Amino acid sequence: MNAIELKHPLVEHKLAILRDKKTGTKEFREIVSELATMLCYEAMKDAKMEEVEIETPIQKMKTRKINEDNYAFVPILRAGTGMLDGIISVVPNAKIGHIGMYRNEETFKPTVYFFKVPKDIDKREVLILDPMLATGGSALDAIELLKEKGVEKIKFLSIIAAPEGIKAVEEKHPDVQIYTASIDEKLNEKAYIVPGLGDAGDRIFGTK
């Protein structure tokens, strides 16, 4: 599968708390942000570096930095915004776009109602943020919208992912790398991830 699953004791520990139905809104939100930071570190392992000269308290030296203008983060509303703080803490000067979608509870397919991205999005590497990659419908729509804008390098970051969603993205967009904290077992008859963590948006914002 074209998905990189984070394998680390801290990730597993945080996920265990996140999945627990007793975990409250505040802690759930904080852990989603923390896991997003970890995913961002992994997804940017191949980031291009530029040589710069700085001066330490001791002397001048040549070192390397990332050009943050080369990146944009695009959360899928609304749950994807729960990952944003953790991502921005790593690359604070990246531009932010938003894609608004909601799921039709009968067809399980997403409907796009909002799409706003930086004008020069085609010149940037884009990381799409969504805590859950379930059927893959929202991911596919988001990827296609960005490709229509000329974006060539896209990565997809999720907290948990179902094999069905990963397969859907792989088949239509094999060039898009998926990063996730966990590849779960399957989708149930209501297209929820099993064992999952419930509805990420409701748990992040306390709406249920």
Of the pLDDT bands very low, low, confident and very high (cuts 50, 70, 90), residue 108 is low
pLDDT at residue 121, rounded to an integer: 95
Lowest mean pLDDT among 6-20, 94-108, 142-156, 185-199: 94-108
For residue range 28-49, what is the model confidence (pLDDT) as tens digits?
Answer: 999 999 999 999 999 999 999 9
- Say if CB 37 and CB 87 are below 8 A apart: yes
Instruction: State the catalytic residues.
Output: 103, 107, 199, 202
C-alpha torsion angle, residues 22, 4, 144, 49 (rounded to 10)? 110
- Say if CB 143 and CB 126 are below 8 A apart: no
C-alpha torsion angle, residues 167, 173, 178, 183 (rounded to 10)? -10
The CATH number given to 3-205 is 3.40.50.2020
- Say if CB 68 and CB 94 are below 8 A apart: yes
Query: What are the structural domain ranges in the chain?
Result: 3-205
pTM above 0.85, yes or no: yes
- Say if CB 203 and CB 192 are below 8 A apart: no
Of the pLDDT bands very low, low, confident and very high (cuts 50, 70, 90), residue 7 is very high
Pick 161 or 191 by higher pLDDT: 161
Tell me the percentage of the chain whose pLDDT exceeds 70. Answer: 99
* Distance (Å, whole) CA 201 – CA 81: 9
For the cut 80, the answer to whether the pLDDT of residue 157 exceeds it is yes
Give the mean model confidence (pLDDT) for residues 72-101: 93
- Say if CB 110 and CB 137 are below 8 A apart: yes
Question: What residues form DSSP beta bridges with 53?
Answer: 62
For residue range 121-153, what is the model confidence (pLDDT) as tens digits?
Answer: 999 999 999 999 999 999 999 999 999 999 999
Tell me the percentage of the chain whose pLDDT exceeds 90. Answer: 84
Question: What residues form DSSP beta bridges with 55?
Answer: 60
Question: What residues form DSSP beta bridges with 4?
Answer: 179
User: How long is the chain?
Assistant: 208
Kindly report the average pLDDT of the chain as a whole number.
93
Q: 175 by DSSP, 3-state: which?
A: coil
For the cut 70, the answer to whether the pLDDT of residue 1 exceeds it is no
Pick 2 or 175 by higher pLDDT: 175
